[in-house]
Amino acid sequence: MRRLNHFIDGQNVSGTSGRFGDLFDPNTGAVQGQVPLADISEIATAVAAARAAFPAWAAQNPQRRARVMFEFKRLVEANMDDLAALLSSEHGKVIADSRGDIQRGLDVVEFAAGIPHLQKGEFTENAGPGIDVYSMRQPLGVCAGITPFNFPAMIPCWMAAVAIACGNTFILKPSEKTPSVPLRLAELMLQAGAPAGVFNVVNGDKVAVDAILHHPDIKAVSFVGSSDIAQYVYATGAAHGKRVQAMGGAKNHGIILPDADMDQVVRDIVGAAFGSAGERCMALPVAVPVGKNTADEFVARMQDAIAGLKVGISTDAQAQFGPVVSAAHRDRIARYVQMGVDEGAELVVDGRGLELQGHENGFFIGPSLFDHVTPDMQSYRDEIFGPVLQVVRAETLAQATHLATAHQYGNGVAIFTRSGRAAREFAARVDVGMVGINVPIPVPVSYHSFGGWKRSAFGDTNQHGPDGVRFWTRIKTVTERWPDGDIGDQAFVIPTMG
């Protein structure tokens, strides 16, 4: 059985709190290791290491920090197969999804490698008589990231790559369910040339989270997780004088107009709803077909598509998705399926009770499909975070737009149509942060910024892209005027080396 460590000041460090959490293999349900759960003193040790490393790292010229990002990307790519296998062994997602998880993180590492340009300030000559004004984007100091179980490579890279490239030092508190890949990323960052103390990983639970939020030397915190915890992190961190961005949950809608290409719609939504077992904040768990004929055709064709899906262990190359991350999460999803039945929705496909031969104790649950879901149902209002697709029928585009706008979450939304006018009007009017037009999972590319609205995000800035650089830096503005005077001939003497 493996026993994991923390990674502090360039070293693997054993946990000293005496508290450990079990690390499961979702494919078998067996305990495969233990992860240390940090106490306040271990967070303090990591902060001290990061604080000590900060002055020299911040003073590095941006080209040198960019070179570390380039080398880090190369090392991660060289270790892609091992990292993907490790990720799947703890999360349960199939290998192809794990590789995608890592690659989307590397996209942001590539973006961060452009830090010499991204961190440039502004300059105004002669803002007043003989007065120039310029600004500098400077790092904040010790920063922290708190990341969820579902993307243990991508989201740490979203946070750490930009923060570190900007000259900050970083403490990552990954999910205790999927800690191994984040620890390996920290080792690779050290190998890439980042000095010891620049990237630290401390495993833990709420004790570690609260220690991060309360520590006076941590200047900024980025969080991704459920909305209730995101709101807590935002409020607590801000109350302690920190800059905070906190990304929460989602209930993304896919609007299907009668003129949509139904072949494309079914292909896209079956992948967006059930890929990675639905454990994605940008999954598409709600379909909103407009008009009875559209709805009837969509449900019938989706039912056929689901029948062709294969659920398997994470190493099965033929499987579309694998187990969910834990037995507790599997049982929670099953309870939501029952809730939908009790609320009066029509359960067209029931994914409960799925077992794989030889893996009967794995955390598997099959795809479920509901029709005739209504906005008053609790199962519709809540984020299920599993392979459950709910169909809410609408009569008009205006009604469909209102459904997405009125929902408590505002992370992502998609519309499927051939009408440019309808898509343009929808994109302008819908009250959601990220919009896809014939794109089911509208995650922006790395050089744009990622973030939702309403209870999907707390704070004023988004992840990665230009907002990421703004979040991890602060502006210093200098107004300068030089006095007149006779500088004499000495000013024009070329100095020589002594």
Tell me the per-residue pLDDT of 66-76, one tens digit each, with 9 for 90 and over.
Answer: 999 999 999 99
Tell me the per-residue pLDDT of 120-179, one tens digit each, with 9 for 90 and over.
Answer: 999 999 999 999 999 999 999 999 999 999 999 999 999 999 999 999 999 999 999 999
- What is the pLDDT averaged over residues 210-232? 97
The catalytically annotated residue of 143, 157, 166, 281 is 281
Q: What is the pLDDT, as a whole number, of residue 447?
A: 86
Tell me the per-residue pLDDT of 146-159, one tens digit each, with 9 for 90 and over.
Answer: 999 999 999 999 99
Domains of the chain with CATH codes: 2-248+456-479 (3.40.605.10), 253-437 (3.40.309.10)
DSSP string, 47-85: HHHHHHHHHHHHHS-HHHHHHHHHHHHHHHHHTHHHHHH
CB-based contact 311:319 (threshold 8 Å): yes
pLDDT at 19 over 60: yes
- What is the pLDDT averaged over residues 227-256? 97
pLDDT band at 1 (very low <50, low <70, confident <90, very high): confident
Beta bridge partners of 218: 142
pLDDT band at 498 (very low <50, low <70, confident <90, very high): very low
Q: What is the pLDDT, as a whole number, of residue 494?
A: 57
Q: Structure pTM?
A: 0.94
- What is the pLDDT averaged over residues 386-412? 97
CB-based contact 36:202 (threshold 8 Å): no
Q: What is the pLDDT, as a whole number, of residue 488?
A: 55
Q: What's the token pair of residue 253?
A: 């809608």
pLDDT at 487 over 90: no
pLDDT band at 489 (very low <50, low <70, confident <90, very high): low
What whole-number distance in Å separates Cα of residue 104 and Cα of residue 251?
Answer: 22
Residues 6+ positions from 35 with CB-CB distance below 8 Å: 4, 20, 21, 22, 23, 176, 179, 203
pLDDT at 352 over 50: yes
Task: Report strand pairing: 218-224 vs 142-146.
Answer: parallel
Residue found under tokens 């896919």:
254
DSSP string, 311-345: B--TT-TT-SB---S-HHHHHHHHHHHHHHHHHT-
Active site residue 281: yes
pLDDT at 89 over 80: yes
Residues 6+ positions from 438 with CB-CB distance below 8 Å: 260, 261, 264, 268, 414, 415, 416, 417, 423
The helix/strand/coil state of 111 is: helix
Q: What is the pLDDT, as a whole number, of residue 483?
A: 86
- What is the pLDDT averaged over residues 335-351? 98
pLDDT at 490 over 60: no
Q: What's the token pair of residue 34?
A: 């233990």
Per-residue DSSP letter, 34 = E
